[in-house]
Amino acid sequence: MNVLDARGMRCPMPLLKLKQSLHQLNVAEVLTVMTTDPMSKRDFVAFLQRSPHKLLSITENDSEICFEIQKGE
């Protein structure tokens, strides 16, 4: 399981770490990203709309957001 723990990081670090992590994966692998930065939701969605990667799910609870992202071509 590929997990990026970006909890406690502030914008723009979660997005930068997401890009680095996706670069290391093979196509179709799934990355789980956990963050506490509320700006990550907006940043991740905007980035993924302009990329070949696919947002599988977003779950939120209290102060944490969890993303499931599948690497595209």
Question: Kindly report the CA angle at 65 between 8 and 53, in degrees rounded to 5?
Answer: 105
Rounded CA-CA distance 34/12 in Å is: 14
Q: Which of 2, 7, 9, 11 is catalytic?
A: 11
Under 8 Å between Cβ of 59 and 66: yes
Residue 11 annotated as catalytic: yes
Active site residues: 11
